[in-house]
Structure 1
């Protein structure tokens, strides 16, 4: 009996492997409400995609601070230079989800190749993945920056396929965001969605549904092994 084709797993980083809720205390300090972080993050993704569609360029970190200032303007809160710097630092020091290391190790032990792809630019010092202790589990880390476009632009996924000398059909995008898995699947690749209790698949005719969906990384890793086979 032939085993199913085992794809290379391309992990998103922010929120997928690293805990975005780490930023909530900063937003509580600035706005008196940590839940504003979710509003800011949704706008950050919206405007990253707006810049890509419009053919404009920006660094994801600079855009994150600009969206923080925009959120402050909307809410009548002045954002200081120090608060902008604190946001950049907090993004670069997000901890891993508690089950992230187990999931990556389990998948590697089962024979899967693991890489990452993030909207964030390459770090000048230790990367967020290194700070979180997850870098040893992946064979390569990619940033969208060389493409001058943000996910889910096709070029961002294609650069990973090119670097690995593979077709997008050989890749599975693992993310906490359906827009990210849709981006890879629209190119003929695969998608695995971890919801972390804050996201869900988009159910819409003509739009690819993730091949695997799970509430946490441990369960997702087990489902991936079951779907595509391990050692």
Structure 2
């Protein structure tokens, strides 16, 4: 498939030719994978587990168990949950995960670089006059720069929201409502930018529109009964171009 073409999926609940309730004016960005590069931790996982693909396995568990504890009415912080899951994955693979390994991965999670395309895309959107905020499952770092600050991206965003306020992980609807309520805008003016379909589905179910970035390991979910992203792009500059063109049309 030529990824430079508009590859927006079609299906029930998808409004490809017009926005729901009006044109989006607030862009709400996911952070992990969408803006910052989890693949940068692959060498650490290769050293610890002998296979860099274990990073994706661990990340899948992190997504699944964050949703599990929210659905169960429980809460634990993102980093504490991630550290516990590292030991669980170690048990699965018969690998001893040491305290030093966990500390190294914790530091890596706080210092991941931005994807190479992100700054250019954010500059396009800033110049076009969009309001931009972030909404992430990761907590702020009380002892130093946040991952977004370390990646050199914090200055692009009006506010940084985390799920610690609601103590419920995305895609719980209250996390998306939190942003709209705090900014005093209707959800229909908010546009979620994420690399995960579970995030775009959650945002659209809360009244947002959404765009999907097909980062490595991510793709649209072709199930017609589910909300489909309004826009799909391989990187942020391509998505920014689509958003700006739609605004001008």
Please give the range of the TM-score, normalised by the shorter of the 2 chains: over 0.9
Q: Deviations over 1:144-178 (max 9, x none)?
A: 11111100000111111111001211111100000
**SS of 2:115 mapped into structure 1:** coil
Verify: 1:206 aligned to 2:211, yes or no: no
Give the aligned partner of residue 153 of structure 2: 134
**CA distance in structure 1 between the aligned counterparts of 2:169 and 2:25, rounded to whole angstroms:** 23
Match in the other structure for 1:9: 27
1:69-218 correspondence runs (5 A): 69-124=87-142, 125-218=144-237
- What is the deviation of 1:227? 2.3
1:141 counterpart SS class:
strand
State the alpha-carbon separation in 2 of the partners of residues 163 and 207 from structure 1: 27
| 8 Å contact kept, 2:24–2:191 | no
- 8 Å contact from structure 1 (residues 119, 150) kept in 2: yes
Deviations 1:22-80 (A, max 9, x none): 11011001001111101110110000000000011100001111111110010001111
Contact persistence 1:6–1:229 (CA under 8 A): no
CA RMSD of aligned residues (A): 1.4
Give yes or no for the alignment of 1:65 onto 2:83: yes
Aligned partners of 2:30 and 2:78: how far apart in 1? 14
2: CA distance between counterparts of 1:6 and 1:210? 14
Distance (whole Å) between structure 1 residues aligned to residue 87 and residue 203 of structure 2 = 31
Aligned length: 228
In the alignment, is the contact (CA less than 8 A) between 1:197 and 1:215 conserved in 2? no
Relative to the length of structure 2, the TM-score reads 0.89
Which consecutive unaligned segments of at least 5 residues does structure 1 have? none
Indicate the SS of the match to 2:47.
helix
1:47 maps onto 2:65 in alignment? yes
Choose between structure 1 and 2 for higher RCO, CA contacts under 8 A separated by at least 6 residues: 2
Equivalent pair of 1:68/1:84 in contact (CA under 8 Å): yes
Between 195-204 and 53-62, report the one with greater CA deviation.
195-204
1:24 paired to 2:28: no
* Deviant stretches of 4+, over 3 Å: none
